[in-house]
Amino acid sequence: MILKQLPAIFKPARPVLQRIEAAGFEAYFVGGCVRDTILGDHIHDIDIATSAYPSEIKAIFKRTVDTGIEHGTVMILDHGTGYETTTFRTESGYQDYRRPDSVTFVRSLAEDLKRRDFTINALALRENGEVVDLFHGLDDLKRHLIRAVGDPNERFHEDALRMMRAVRFAAKLDFVIDQPTLNGIRQNAPLLSKIAVERIRVEFEKLLLGKNPVAGLKDFVATGLYRYCPGLQGAHDVLSKLLVLNQWALENPVQVWTMLCVQLNLSGQAVTRFLKQWKNSNNLIRQVKQTLPVVAALRAHHLTALDLYRAGWERTVDANQVAKLYGWNVAVSKLRTAYKKLPIKSHQELAVDGRTLIKAGIKPGPQLGTILRWLTQAVVAGQLVNTRLALLTAAKEYKKEE
């Protein structure tokens, strides 16, 4: 197969491949960028594989950066753009089910493609548009099939993360996992517990952000992979209920993790525990905790100004997107109008601050915080006008009532 016209992203990279070839080596575009080109999908980055060793690449190009030299990866800098180039390699060992014990540089493209996970990811593309397809990857692309390169059992034994990658590609592309490959996953699912949670998380997020999450989720559940994921060991029924939802349009990790907390019916400390088990960042945990109350309010058809104020606009949008999955969402225009109507959007906009209150005779201490919070809530709810005079008067009244 020859591709007549390559997407624009390849254009500036072609001269780089031509120079490697002119020096007597082979060079190809490989992996996801080839797959996505043939599918007509968006390409986010390009990977180059070559028969030249890192030292040989560095002799050809003046400006390079050793980005992963021990794996054979060198970045070539050309007209301000960096191109990651990796020497053909084979991997061996895999005694711990996750990383090869050693990588060996080789001169053969076939050897390099053989170590790749799925046939649709084992295509290579020459700079002239010629596709190299040694494992019927093109047929599988046409048939929408995720199929392991070689024996699935062996391949998942070598690297258990590939099982998560299979379900994530099924979701990302809305493809089906080939039966023997699926059997391989079912058989080896327990090996997933050998893989670092952070790496599983990356794949799980991509699954839920895919074109058709259900296409991946159903096999994530059916093969038992979920049992080896943090906090999901007993979640068969809860996860199965996701399979009947059809309004999937999650857009970012905050929405993904909020949805999971909603689905698992988590609240309070259980939210933090679950998100920490998955090694999520403190920032993400904070954002999910801001989003969850808005989802709950949408669910109860009782979204208040204070909910919007506390969450802020971005988290409100995240909440509405999660709510959409369950049919609890409202029109974004309605949300926007309500948000714009908020008398203040942050505590900085409050007409008084702690210092002003102290000057007006309120003692510093815990009560000061309580008064400020109360004033904020009253302003947000429209019960007090946001002027210095009104707020100072109200603060003094509040003190008297204490």
* Partner that binds at residue 254, options ligand ATP, Mg ion, none, CB closer than 5 to 8 Å by kind: none
* Partner that binds at residue 163, options Mg ion, ligand ATP, none, CB closer than 5 to 8 Å by kind: none
State the number of binding residues for ligand ATP (CB under 6 A): 11
Residue whose CB is less far from ligand ATP, 47 or 111: 47
Report if residue 162 touches ligand ATP, rule: CB under 6 A: yes
| Identity at 188, one-letter amino acid code | N
Report if residue 218 touches ligand ATP, rule: CB under 6 A: no
Count of beta carbons in the 10 Å neighbourhood of residue 301: 8
Count of beta carbons in the 10 Å neighbourhood of residue 4: 5
Q: How far apart are CA 178 and CA 385, in angstroms?
A: 64
Report if residue 100 touches Mg ion, rule: CB under 5 A: no
Restricted to residues 47-66, the positions that interact with ligand ATP (CB under 6 A) are 47
Q: Is 191 helix (H, G, I), strand (E, B) or coil?
A: helix
Q: Which residue is nearest to Mg ion (CB)?
A: 32
Determine which residue in the list 32, 100, 216, 253 makes contact with ligand ATP, applying CB under 6 A.
Answer: 32
State the number of binding residues for Mg ion (CB under 5 A): 1
Report if residue 72 touches Mg ion, rule: CB under 5 A: no
3-state helix, strand, coil in the chain (%, to 5): 55, 10, 30
**DSSP H stretches of helix in 278-304:** 282-299
Give the chain's radius of gyration (CA, Å).
27
Residue whose CB is less far from ligand ATP, 174 or 236: 174
Instruction: Read off φ and ψ for residue 401, nearest 5 degrees.
Output: -65, -20
* Partner that binds at residue 72, options ligand ATP, Mg ion, none, CB closer than 5 to 8 Å by kind: none
Minimum Å gap between C-beta 319 and ligand ATP is: 27
Minimum Å gap between C-beta 334 and ligand ATP is: 35
Nearest to 227, CA basis, from 244, 239, 212: 239
Cα 336 off chain centre by: 26
Q: Is 395 helix (H, G, I), strand (E, B) or coil?
A: helix
How many residues are recorded in the chain?
402
Minimum Å gap between C-beta 309 and ligand ATP is: 37
Find the part of the chain contacting ligand ATP (CB under 6 A) among 77-85, 155-163, 258-266, 386-394. Answer: 155-163
Count of beta carbons in the 10 Å neighbourhood of residue 157: 16
Q: Is 39 helix (H, G, I), strand (E, B) or coil?
A: helix
Q: How far apart are CA 346 and CA 37, in angstroms?
A: 45
Residue whose CB is less far from ligand ATP, 21 or 91: 91
Residue pair 301/220 in contact (Cβ under 8 Å)? The answer is no
Find the part of the chain contacting ligand ATP (CB under 6 A) among 56-64, 159-167, 273-281, 367-375. Answer: 159-167
Report if residue 159 touches ligand ATP, rule: CB under 6 A: yes
Residue span 89-128 as binding mask against ligand ATP, x where in contact by CB under 6 A, dash where not: ---------------------------xx---xx------
* Partner that binds at residue 324, options Mg ion, ligand ATP, none, CB closer than 5 to 8 Å by kind: none
Count of beta carbons in the 10 Å neighbourhood of residue 226: 23
Report if residue 37 touches ligand ATP, rule: CB under 6 A: no
Residue whose CB is less far from ligand ATP, 159 or 307: 159
Cα 298 off chain centre by: 25
**DSSP H stretches of helix in 23-118:** 32-39, 54-60, 109-114
Report if residue 32 touches Mg ion, rule: CB under 5 A: yes
* Partner that binds at residue 112, options ligand ATP, Mg ion, none, CB closer than 5 to 8 Å by kind: none
**Contacts with ligand ATP, residue ranges (CB under 6 A):** 31-32, 47, 116-117, 121-122, 159, 161-162, 165
